[in-house]
């Protein structure tokens, strides 16, 4: 943290201030462009067009991870798994390299604004990047690659858990880990991951989705932990599945997460006994309405159920960081106030000009992984037919499972997204 007293004694010249304003203008503009694309995606912009628009954005170095996260996610849902992996890996490496505290970025953000910081990802981003990469590897039929990602996600979640808060603890990633282990016949590890997913959801006082409940019941029985299986059966009012050879793990990405907005606020500056205006990031009201997909089996209709509410996670991340952001904004506003006061003493015109520049330079950092879905939903079915009938955002769709039947593979991973009518399938 930058020393407050040190900031207040700084006497910057207008030239320096103007130059800083010029340099910073790039980051805010980049984020505006990405936010616009995200907002258009919410209003049915085709994902291919969104990708083209994103690819045309030239970002500053400090926002490269944010762009790569957005590109990688859209490439994943549009079926370009190879490029999704490349971009998400790039974002992951950049975010990792930015874990150390930067002296220059701290000084810049304490004197000008927060957009000078390199985007190192929110806790949700730092974990979810592994989840999205694991999905890309799975759909690319690379189970080992997916396994590597969920192991890395585990390390990252354990690191984040050291601070004893729940930021970055994602039930979706734990559940996905369970699925990957199950596909790899590692039932012990799968059960541990499912238990962890349940523990995260229970800590949030949410209800676990039915596929997670069923997996816990079935796997505990499979391993021979019959008492635990019975306990889950009583708790969830479900019974053990009949023996099955075909299982379809369905994941559905619904919506586009709400974009952050800038809110002007006034804070008390005790050194000069004045209220100072600051720009802070803020999420508007959550108007997301969940849209489910359905799987029609021989006997029933299964709805996808939410395992991760990204709207809530994004707001949680921001809320956890707000005290730090607010303290920095106040220190910065105080430094700017001092600068203007000093210049005013020398020359009123210069002081007025400096005042305008300090107001212009005060912008909130609104960067986040803005293309993420509002919610991640899951379902499982046990169909032995060659086709699977689904009702999605795009109406009735029939998925051909015959390839997996022909090749003798029995389990499938299916990805649906409200951004595209494509259904992605991989068989194991």
For another protein, the closer of residues 83 and 422 by Cβ is 83
Contacting residue, 5, 56, 103, 349, with another protein by CB under 8 A: 103
Q: Which stretch binds another protein (CB under 8 A): 99-107, 207-215, 405-413, 420-428?
A: 99-107
Judged by beta carbon, residue 148 or residue 240, the one nearer another protein is 148
Q: d(Cα 210, Cα 399) in Å, to the nearest integer?
A: 22
Query: Which residues in 319-358 are b (16+ Cβ under 10 Å) and which e?
Result: ebeeeebeebbbbbbbbbbbbbbbbeeeeeebbebbbebb
Q: Which residue among 111, 229, 248, 252 contacts another protein (CB under 8 A)?
A: 111
CA distance 331 to 364: 14
- 108 vs 412, beta carbon nearer another protein: 108
Give the helix/strand (H/E) hosting 262.
strand 261-269
Nearer to another protein, 161 or 203 (CB): 161
Q: Name the residue nearer to another protein (CB basis): 8 or 199.
A: 8
Instruction: Decide if 115 contacts 367 (C-beta within 8 A).
Output: yes
Cα gap 12→138, rounded to integer Å: 54
Task: Indicate which single residue of 159, 230, 341, 409 sits in contact with another protein (rule: CB under 8 A).
Answer: 159
d(CA 189, CA 183) in angstroms, rounded, equals 11
Nearer CB in complex with another protein: 107/223 = 107
Phi, psi of 11 (to 5 degrees): -120, 80
Distance in angstroms (rounded) separating the CA atoms of residues 175 and 195? 9
Closest to 122 measured CA to CA, from 323, 329, 313: 313
Q: Which of 1, 155, 203, 356 lies at the binding interface for another protein (CB under 8 A)? A: 155
Cβ-based nearer residue to another protein, 142 or 312: 142
Token readout for 162 is: 């050291």
- Note whether 151 binds another protein by CB under 8 A: yes
In the range 10-49, which residues lie near another protein by CB under 8 A?
Answer: 10-13, 16, 19-20, 23
Is the distance from CB of 179 to CB of 413 less than 8 angstroms? yes
Residue 108 to residue 301: CA distance in whole angstroms: 56
C-beta closer to another protein: residue 155 or 360: 155
Tokens representing 238 are: 């479900």
Check residue 124 for interaction with another protein (CB under 8 A): no
The yes or no reply on residue 346 touching another protein (CB under 8 A) is no
Give the span between the Cα atoms of 139 and 137, in whole angstroms: 6
CB of 21 to another protein, least distance (A): 12
Q: What is the rounded CA–CA span in Å between residue 114 and residue 186?
A: 45
Kindly state whether residue 86 participates in binding another protein, applying the rule CB under 8 A. Answer: no
152 binds another protein (CB under 8 A): yes
Looking only at residues 348 through 407 of this chain, which bind another protein when binding is defined by CB under 8 A? none
Shortest distance, position 133 Cβ to another protein, whole Å: 10
Q: Is residue 281 a contact partner of residue 365, using CB atoms and an 8 Å limit?
A: yes
Q: Measured from the CB atom, is 97 or 235 closer to another protein?
A: 97
Strands 395-400 and 375-381: unpaired
Only segment of 97-105, 172-180, 239-247, 343-351 that touches another protein (CB under 8 A): 97-105
Does the protein bind another protein through residue 6 (CB under 8 A)?
yes
Least separation in angstroms between CB 193 and another protein: 15
8 A C-beta contact, residue 282 and residue 262: yes
H helix or E strand, kind and range, residue 282: strand 274-282
Q: Which residues bind another protein (CB under 8 A)?
A: 6, 10-13, 16, 19-20, 23, 98-104, 107-108, 111, 116, 144-145, 147-148, 151-152, 155, 158-159, 162
């Amino acid at each position: 943290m930058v020393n407050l007293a040190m900031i207040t004694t700084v006497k910057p010249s207008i030239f320096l201030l103007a130059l800083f304003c010029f340099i910073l203008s790039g980051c805010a503009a980049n984020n505006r462009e990405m936010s616009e694309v995200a907002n258009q995606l919410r209003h049915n912009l085709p994902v291919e067009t969104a990708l083209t628009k994103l690819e045309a954005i030239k970002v500053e170095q400090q926002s490269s991870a944010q762009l790569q996260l957005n590109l990688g996610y859209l490439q994943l849902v549009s079926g370009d798994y190879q490029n999704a992996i490349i971009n998400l890996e790039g974002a992951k490496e950049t975010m990792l390299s930015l874990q150390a505290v930067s002296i220059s970025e701290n000084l810049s953000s304490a004197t000008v604004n927060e957009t000078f910081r390199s985007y190192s990802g929110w806790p949700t981003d730092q974990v979810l990047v592994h989840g999205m990469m694991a999905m890309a590897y799975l759909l690319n039929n690379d189970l080992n690659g997916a396994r590597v990602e969920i192991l890395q996600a585990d390390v990252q979640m354990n690191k984040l858990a050291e601070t004893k808060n729940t930021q970055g603890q994602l039930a979706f990633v734990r559940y996905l880990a369970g699925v990957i282990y199950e596909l790899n016949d590692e039932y012990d590890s799968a059960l541990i991951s499912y238990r962890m997913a349940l523990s995260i959801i229970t800590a949030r006082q949410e209800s676990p989705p039915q596929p997670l409940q069923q997996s816990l019941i079935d796997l505990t029985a499979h391993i021979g932990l019959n008492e635990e299986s019975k306990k889950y059966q009583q708790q969830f009012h479900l019974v053990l599945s009949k023996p099955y050879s075909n299982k379809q793990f369905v994941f559905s990405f619904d919506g586009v997460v709400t974009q952050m907005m800038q809110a002007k606020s006034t804070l008390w500056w005790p050194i000069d006994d004045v209220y100072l205006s600051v720009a802070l990031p803020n999420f508007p009201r959550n108007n997301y309405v969940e849209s489910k997909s359905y799987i029609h089996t021989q006997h029933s209709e299964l709805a996808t159920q939410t395992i991760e509410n990204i709207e809530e996670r994004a707001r949680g991340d921001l809320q956890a960081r707000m005290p730090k952001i607010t303290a920095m904004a106040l220190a910065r506003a105080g430094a700017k106030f001092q600068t203007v006061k000093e210049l005013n003493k020398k020359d009123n015109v210069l002081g007025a000009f400096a005042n305008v520049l300090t107001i212009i330079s005060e912008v909130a950092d609104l960067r986040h992984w803005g293309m993420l879905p509002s919610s991640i939903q899951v379902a499982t079915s046990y169909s032995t037919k060659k086709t699977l009938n689904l009702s999605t955002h795009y109406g009735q769709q029939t998925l051909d499972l015959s390839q997996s039947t022909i090749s003798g593979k029995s389990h499938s991973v299916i990805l649906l997204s409200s951004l595209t009518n494509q259904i992605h399938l991989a068989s194991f």
